[in-house]
Structure 1
């Protein structure tokens, strides 16, 4: 007989309600909140913002396009992190490495949402002629802080990963 329960076993793959909320509901709400903010604030933002600051100067691009791309990238990372985490739970394979993989990808998504929020906050109400490269630095700081905050939140909020037994053959 196999050690694994039958695939139709109803007890297999049960995801705790709290973990389900953190892996599914919270990312959807965060993404929806940022998307709504983008839609409401886009008329108050400059048409073009700094996208790149380097030795050759400041590179500018379309504000709506930049915000759409960051929201899409965040949605992709949040979806992959959520699906990965749920998959590990359902397979009853919630070990420390698997938890780290899932929360790392989720945190990447939250960091990218931080880029969107910081870009909007640092350019809100700024006239097109006054746009500088400062929003790029602010956005990068928001990415790092958002990523770290999301990591710490998920480490504490999600169930602990099981310890793996090494060399127990």
Structure 2
């Protein structure tokens, strides 16, 4: 049987579900959720190494965000579960002190820095705002290993409604029934 914690959807997966993430397909996500893709994955040691660097860089991005924005942040050390749909989950990088806001830190490359935050990350913000009940999400990004930007993203109920619809379809029609989406 599939592990229960794998049958959930995090904000960074909505871009994959909608087909706008260029690094993974919905079928790969489905296989990962059902642990069918284990043989193609990196070793446990490589995963720990990657997580170490991701967490280290996120810490730097958080510090830079506080310097440039003047806002204080605090760590959120738990996975948050949506009240209505328990398959919707969020791991927030930070909470903004004194606001009903969250911070998402990201690193990406291969884009024109003038394009700003990519659509997949903006959708992740909306998913995370839904789950955490936040009004705003700030995104702190390091683009192409050389340009730091941050942006304020406001909650958009219409986008959130579409995200819920797509995530429900993926969860109930594919993960729960164990039917591949492609």
Please state which band the TM-score falls in when normalised by the shorter chain: 0.3 to 0.5
Q: Name the TM-score, length of structure 1 as normaliser.
A: 0.34
Normalization by structure 2: what TM-score?
0.32
**Greater per-residue helix proportion:** 1
More strand by share: 2
